[in-house]
Amino acid sequence: MTYRQIFDEAIGDAPPTTVDVDALVAREGRRRRRRLGAYASGTAVLALVLGVGVVVQPGASGGPAPAHSAASAAARTHPERLRAAMLTALDREAPDLRWVRGAAPTDPKTWGGPLTDAPQWSVQPLRWESMTGWFGVGVAARGEVRSYLTIDLGRPFPGQPSGPDECEDGMVACRLFTGPAGERVVTFDLRGFRAPPTSGRGPINARFVIVKRADGTRVSVQTNSFTDRHLLTAEEMAAVALDPEIRLG
């Protein structure tokens, strides 16, 4: 299912830039829950844009590894390496970024907490319908903007879609360009609203950067804010997504 088909089904005859995100997530989530077993609501907007569902793998919260082999030891260290790479790239592009202490990424009501310079950022394994990989997430602040922020890294399964390849209706400020190593880069915004009773009716502004690398991996960066301003510019997000240290293996 394409980006346009998903949003057309969710909003019917509504204008393409007016999306009831709660209804969209709920409807698509009900359809896929039987197949996926779980639905990560915090990444649902991104997942639906890409036409995939998200499942966080068992043990993603940091539980003990099932075995003590060299391979499992490497798996335990991989999230720490990725976390450091992601935070280094974010600090380089947005050194004034701060973090909301105690915020739950999927619950905007918790985003008003105190700020800290200590990164509130976790990296977990994930499994999508079309790919497996790693998922970094936190709630960040910059000036008066507080926003959900994610960085996803993975490799699609053979024959599975890896995201939009062109600008489509409803994508705002969409750009397509080639990265320094031949990467395919797509940047775009989505503008919509949240309807009661979840968090009160109000704007939601989402920004996406999706990078497809020559080796088949994909990196995406997403921000969601509930104001008319974004946490990061598209250029800053693209620079993060293109960082070669954010990689598998």
| 238/223 Cα distance (integer angstroms) | 12
pLDDT mean over 122-134: 87
Interatomic CA distance for residues 145 and 192, integer angstroms = 17
Task: Supply the DSSP symbol for 130.
Answer: S
Distance CA 238, CA 78 (A): 23
Q: How far is CA 13 from CA 16, 49, 96, 151, 184, in A?
A: 8, 18, 41, 32, 32
pTM score: 0.72
Q: How confident is the model at residue 38 (pLDDT cuts 50, 70, 90)?
A: very low
pLDDT digits (tens, 9 = 90+) for 77-99: 689 999 999 999 999 999 999 99
The radius of gyration of the chain from alpha carbons, rounded to an integer in Å, stands at: 17
- Give the per-residue pLDDT at 108: 85
Sign of CA dihedral 11, 17, 1, 138: negative
Please give the C-alpha separations between residue 246 and each of 14, 77, 86, in angstroms, as whole numbers.
38, 14, 6
Predicted confidence at residue 34, as pLDDT, reads 32
How far is residue 160's CA from residue 216's CA, in Å, rounded to a whole number?
A: 11
Lowest mean pLDDT among 16-30, 190-204, 210-224: 16-30
CB 99 within 8 A of CB 121: yes
